[in-house]
Structure 1
Amino acid sequence: MSVPDLLTDPNAVLLDRAQWRYGVAPDYRKANASFAAEKTKDWEKGSLQDMVSNLVKNWEKEASYKLDPSEWRTIDKEKYRFSCNGGQKYTVEDMLRLGTYNALIGDTELYSATNTDFETSHEVFRKAMPEGFAWEVLDVYSGPPEVAFKWRHWGKMTGKLTCPLGHGTLEAEPTNDTIEIFGMAIAKVEPENGFKITEIEIYYEPNQIMSQLAGKAKRIQVMV
Structure 2
Amino acid sequence: MMHIWKQQVIEIGADGVGAFQHERVCWLQIATKNKVYIFDILMLEDRAFNNSLSMILENNHIVKVTYCCQRIAGCLRAQFGVNLSNVFDTQVADIMCFYTETGGFLPDRSSVLELPRELRELKHMRQEWAIDRYPVTEQGLLERSNPRPLPPSQDGQGQNTATQRQPDPPVPTAEEPVVPGPVPGLQAPAEQRPPVPAIPRGHLTCMLCPVP
- Greater length-normalized contact order (CA 8 Å, ≥ 6 residues apart): 1
Shorter-chain TM-score tier:
under 0.3
More strand by share: 1
**Higher CA-based Rg:** 2
Q: TM-score normalised to the size of structure 1?
A: 0.22
Using the size of structure 2 for normalisation, the TM-score is: 0.23
